[in-house]
Structure 1
Amino acid sequence: MAAPLTDSNARSLGLLCVGRTSRQMVLNVLAIENPEVKVLHFQPGHLDTSWLHTVMNSAKSDQVKRQLQSMFEENRVLKAEAVAAAFLRYLASNEIESGSVVDARQVLRG
């Protein structure tokens, strides 16, 4: 799983940013060194999960809390079930370009 926090940063989420960036780099190197392995970075977007609610309610940064609250108010948070189903359809299509980043919104439209 990739995430916007792979190439940007956010207050209160430093360790998450480091972990996701590191994982993406390791997988990119794996793809280069092993052409027979397909690597896909799937960016699910912001999903309506208990984890996102926990971050929104307990982040140390008021800015992060406000951003997440506005995302819910503006219906920019996706349903996990819909994203999972779209992801499985994408995998079944076998159109994976190794090392690519696929955004859930493009798969949901697809």
Structure 2
Amino acid sequence: MEPDASVTSEPRGLGRSFCIVTGASKGFGRSIARQVAALLRPQSTLVLVARSGDKLQELRAEVEAGGLVVRAVAADLGAKGGVERVVREAREASSADIEHLMLFNNAASLGDVSRYAQSFTDMDEVDSYLSFNVSSALSLTAGVLKAFPQRPGLRRTVVNVSSLCALEPFPTWVLYCTGKAARDMMFRVLAKEEPDLRVLNYAPGPLDTDMQVEARSTSDPTLKKTVFDLRDKGQLLTCEQSCSKLVKVLLKDDYQSGVHLDYFEL
């Protein structure tokens, strides 16, 4: 889906960019990759990251045009080696020609929503979840920013794909809510520490994705009804709808760095 006319008519472009999108193989990440690719100048680089190499190659073939360099990196961000592989891509591409660094921290998982908080007695299980959903985002962001240090003429933008769950507790979603809240605070701290950065926590709203299907397996009866009502009443958003609004916010570039913005607030 092409970006909305209101997006492409914004006066500020992305410039010659180096852009990383994690979780790019499907859902919201795939929409980010498609819409951002359409706005990047020739000779920009778009790095697509996900666990599924086949799906990444399909997306690469779809968006690789007009002088855009697209790299597909199949990596497990829940493991140290996966994060290091993506950081190496950034180091190898770092140059004075880049006008805009963009990092979209989109990769995430819902976790087991069939259980309540008191059932998570296995620290290894919790650590594994947090490694993929929290630790990897911090380490990846830190590594990429070191590869592209502050200098005159370089804009640097970091986007965390957040959620209402970063702000509100939901029964049986203890892992997801904890991870999203931790990531929001992590990027708020980053915005305070690095005033030259543009940092955005963007909550895309209830999306019609595979994760929404997983959400219906929640064991909490009240929450289950809410989740099913979103589907049955046609209240789910398409990834393209939400992504178009995100891109418009980034191009307008007048948000307070570190802020949490929800689709329905814009």
Report the identity percentage. 24
| Match status 1:34 vs 2:169 | no
Q: Which residue of 2 aligns with 1:9?
A: 169
* Counterpart among 86, 98, 103 of residue 262 in structure 2: 103
Q: Which residue of 1 aligns with 2:218?
A: 59
Q: Find the residue that maps to 2:234 and give its secondary structure.
A: coil
Question: How far does the alpha carbon of each residue in 1:17-44 deviate from its partner, in whole angstroms, 9 at most, with x for none?
Answer: 1101111111111111111111111110
Counterpart residue type for residue 242 of structure 2: V
C-alpha deviation, 1:82, in angstroms: 1.2
* Counterpart among 74, 85, 89 of residue 244 in structure 2: 85
Cα distance in structure 2, aligned partners of 1:35 and 1:101: 16
Larger Rg: 2
* Counterpart among 203, 206, 210 of residue 50 in structure 1: 210
Q: Find the residue that maps to 2:179 and give its secondary structure.
A: helix
Q: Which residue of 1 aligns with 2:181?
A: 21
C-alpha deviation, 1:64, in angstroms: 1.8
C-alpha deviation, 1:62, in angstroms: 2.1
C-alpha deviation, 1:60, in angstroms: 1.9
Comparing 72-81 with 27-36, greater Cα deviation is found at 72-81
C-alpha deviation, 1:52, in angstroms: 0.4
C-alpha deviation, 1:48, in angstroms: 0.6
Cα distance in structure 1, aligned partners of 2:260 and 2:244: 18
Q: Find the residue that maps to 1:39 and give its secondary structure.
A: strand
**Structure with bigger RCO (C-alpha 8 Å, 6+ apart):** 1
Cα distance in structure 2, aligned partners of 1:76 and 1:52: 12
Question: How far does the alpha carbon of each residue in 1:33-90 deviate from its partner, in whole angstroms, 9 at most, with x for none?
Answer: 111111111110110111101211x212222211111122233211111111221122
Cα distance in structure 1, aligned partners of 2:173 and 2:249: 29
Extract unaligned runs of 5+ from structure 1.
none
Q: Find the residue that maps to 2:195 and give its secondary structure.
A: coil
Higher helix share: 1
TM-score (norm 2): 0.38
Cα distance in structure 2, aligned partners of 1:44 and 1:5: 11
Whether the aligned pair in 1 keeps the contact of 2:191 and 2:199 (CA below 8 Å) is: yes
Extract unaligned runs of 5+ from structure 2.
1-160
Change (3 A) 1:9 1:80: same
Q: Find the residue that maps to 2:260 and give its secondary structure.
A: strand
Cα distance in structure 1, aligned partners of 2:184 and 2:245: 21
